[in-house]
Structure 1
Amino acid sequence: MTVDTAPAAPVTTRPAPPPARRRRVRPGRLGVHAFLMAVSLAFLAPLLLAVYASLRPYDETSKYGYFSLPKHLSFDYYKQAFSDSGMTKYFVNTMIIAVPGVLVTLFLASFVAFAVSRLRLRGGIVLLMLFTAGNLLPQQVIVTPLYVLFNRIPLPYWMSDSMTMFDSYWAVILVHIGFQIGFCVFVLANFMRTLPQEILEAAIVDGAGVWTQYWRITLPLCRPALAALATLQFTWMYNDFLWALVFMSDGDKLPVTSALNNLRGQFFTDYNLLAAGSVIVALPTILVFLLLQRHFIAGLTLGSSKG
């Protein structure tokens, strides 16, 4: 009895991959990274110094200097700054101004940008130029005309205690919207021009109206740009103090930036306490940036690559 055995298939071995070559680090790249690190430290130095000073007692820094090694660190100044300045009330005032201001600005700007860039609107380029030119006007130039105008615009009592636009949140919100909408229109219009026109053409074939094209098709595609603008707008409106100081006479309506004035004494100012208050005031803007960081960076890098 014979058993036929087929010849075994030859075993082929794949050649081992060549060892990975180390990428040479160019001196120019090292120089760029060193420059970026130096610039980052230069921008962070004031904030780091404020945090460092807020953790030290004033007697220690006045004796040894702000750049000396610490002997005692604590969060006592943060508790004192939050309680002495009444920041809770001022934080609420700032949210009343900043949150509606950001939402209304982005809504109006996105609607105008959609009309200018996506619809065949006659004179759209001229309209875009007018909105952009509005940013070139110095804000301080119209402080006096706006002050006179807001004192003459009547409002019902439930909208303003003063019965006028002056000394109300409406005045500050409208000023922020008026000055920031031009920049947002310019950014969103240029972003919407990069969106494929075929998307809207397909929606029109399916019977979508103008509102559907804007709200359900175009606006979701603009999420990175809207997030980046929301971060910038909230930071600008949150940190502003000029318009509230001009258009509000009631100290209980002022934003949180005014709370720092409550930490200044008449004859003596504890700058370590003031530094703690400044850090507390800056925390909401840092929190907003951290929450929208991914969308903010995506909005900044739009158009940097193709494909």
Structure 2
Amino acid sequence: MYPRPIPEESPRARLFYMAGVALVLLLWLLPLCAVMLTSIKSTEEIMAGAYWTWPQRFSLIDNYTAVFTQTAMARFFLNSLIITVPSVILVLILSTLTGFVLARYRFPGNWLVFALFVGGNFLPAQIMMIPVRDLMVSLGLYDTFWALIIFHTAFQTGFATLFMRNFISALPDELFQAARAEGASPAQTLIHVVAPLMRPALAALAILTFTFVWNDYFWAVVLTQSDTVKPVTAGLNNLRGEWTSAWNIVAAATIVVAIPPVTMFFLMQRHFIAGLTMGAVKG
């Protein structure tokens, strides 16, 4: 009749668990440590193949300065911001509107529309490569910022709609009944009742979408060609030379590219965790 208490694990089981966690963490951090170590080494050490040794001469300032003075990473960085920020804003707006309608209004085909939004997330990117590229070429948008903005907005809205629908469905019905009793229209209900309660979900979704779009490499290569449009992920490939590569500069550029999403996560960590726990449990 009553649930039994969960028995405490034995000291040996806890020891094995902690050892497993430490091993996985070490394996996960090892490549990152290698990149960070490479980013502060001199070119002479890299050419000598000293990848895992402690730097004999620190070139941290020289390498990170060279990322912006000797390469076009500053332009690629700006391109990523031009692509990512509008994509995130559009995804948040569209997913909020569609999630609100699908969560609070029952109409014929509701589940079909919802299934179409969710089903798009299961399509492999390779299947859509040629149709999406041909579509952008026919629209005259190939090799432009709008090609990546439109695609990322369309592709990310499916997952975002699933997330927002679940979050709005978890809100108490009494809030919406009170809004209707006061004569609020659906738009007023969304703006004045739902939106203030959605800050954790919006923060979590903004971080996820920003990370997905910022780190995208596949579509950056498929839909762009010139350096004036390429984002940082595709621009990193330009740092590789035909015969030799300055891997210390490449490693420093990689660390610089990773800073924006990491910074955004830590600044909004509290809202991110709250949004995930509140919006991902109701079906």
Q: What are structure 1's unaligned runs of at least 5 residues?
A: 1-22, 154-163
Conservation of the 8 A alpha-carbon contact between 1:54 and 1:273: yes
Q: Which residue of 1 aligns with 2:192?
A: 216
Matches of 1:299 and 1:171, distance apart in 2 = 30
User: Once the 2 structures are TM-superposed, how far is the Cα of residue 74 of structure 1 from its aligned partner?
Assistant: 2.7
Conservation of the 8 A alpha-carbon contact between 1:84 and 1:263: no
Instruction: Report the residue type matching 2:50 in the other structure.
Output: G
| Aligned match for 1:152, one of 135, 138, 141 | 138
Matches of 2:31 and 2:192, distance apart in 1 = 44
Corresponding position: 1:73 with 2:58: yes
Q: Which residue of 2 aligns with 1:28?
A: 13
Corresponding position: 1:136 with 2:117: no
* 1:158-215 deviation digits (Å, cap 9, x = unpaired): xxxxxx2222211111111111111111111112211101111011101111011112
User: Once the 2 structures are TM-superposed, how far is the Cα of residue 66 of structure 1 from its aligned partner?
Assistant: 2.0
Percent identity (aligned):
37
- Bigger mean CA offset, 35-44 vs 87-96: 35-44
SS of residue paired to 1:253:
coil
Instruction: Report the residue type matching 2:23 in the other structure.
Output: A
Instruction: Report the residue type matching 1:282 in the other structure.
Output: A
The change in CA–CA distance for 1:62 and 1:31 in structure 2 (over 3 A counts) is: same
Instruction: Report the residue type matching 2:272 in the other structure.
Output: F
Q: Which structure has greater helix proportion?
A: 2
Instruction: Report the residue type matching 1:289 in the other structure.
Output: F
Instruction: Report the residue type matching 1:151 in the other structure.
Output: V
Matches of 1:262 and 1:121, distance apart in 2 = 51
- Bigger mean CA offset, 121-130 vs 133-142: 121-130
Conservation of the 8 A alpha-carbon contact between 1:84 and 1:262: no
The change in CA–CA distance for 1:302 and 1:25 in structure 2 (over 3 A counts) is: farther
Corresponding position: 1:275 with 2:251: yes
User: Once the 2 structures are TM-superposed, how far is the Cα of residue 64 of structure 1 from its aligned partner?
Assistant: 6.6
Matches of 2:175 and 2:18, distance apart in 1 = 41
TM-score normalised by the chain length of structure 1: 0.82
The change in CA–CA distance for 1:30 and 1:78 in structure 2 (over 3 A counts) is: same
TM-score normalised by the chain length of structure 2: 0.88
| Aligned match for 2:22, one of 14, 30, 37 | 37
Q: Which residue of 1 aligns with 2:226?
A: 250
The change in CA–CA distance for 1:299 and 1:25 in structure 2 (over 3 A counts) is: farther
Corresponding position: 1:51 with 2:51: no
Corresponding position: 1:112 with 2:88: no
Instruction: Report the residue type matching 1:274 in the other structure.
Output: V
User: Once the 2 structures are TM-superposed, how far is the Cα of residue 61 of structure 1 from its aligned partner?
Assistant: 4.5
The change in CA–CA distance for 1:37 and 1:297 in structure 2 (over 3 A counts) is: farther
Instruction: Report the residue type matching 1:273 in the other structure.
Output: I
User: Once the 2 structures are TM-superposed, how far is the Cα of residue 26 of structure 1 from its aligned partner?
Assistant: 4.3
The change in CA–CA distance for 1:81 and 1:303 in structure 2 (over 3 A counts) is: closer
Corresponding position: 1:183 with 2:163: no
- Bigger mean CA offset, 199-208 vs 41-50: 41-50
Coordinate RMSD, CA, aligned: 2.2
User: Once the 2 structures are TM-superposed, how far is the Cα of residue 27 of structure 1 from its aligned partner?
Assistant: 4.1
* 1:125-153 deviation digits (Å, cap 9, x = unpaired): 22111111111111221222222222222
Conservation of the 8 A alpha-carbon contact between 1:263 and 1:274: yes
Larger Rg: 1
Q: What are structure 2's unaligned runs of at least 5 residues?
A: 1-7
User: Once the 2 structures are TM-superposed, how far is the Cα of residue 106 of structure 1 from its aligned partner?
Assistant: 1.4
User: Once the 2 structures are TM-superposed, how far is the Cα of residue 261 of structure 1 from its aligned partner?
Assistant: 2.7
How many pairs does the alignment contain?
Answer: 273
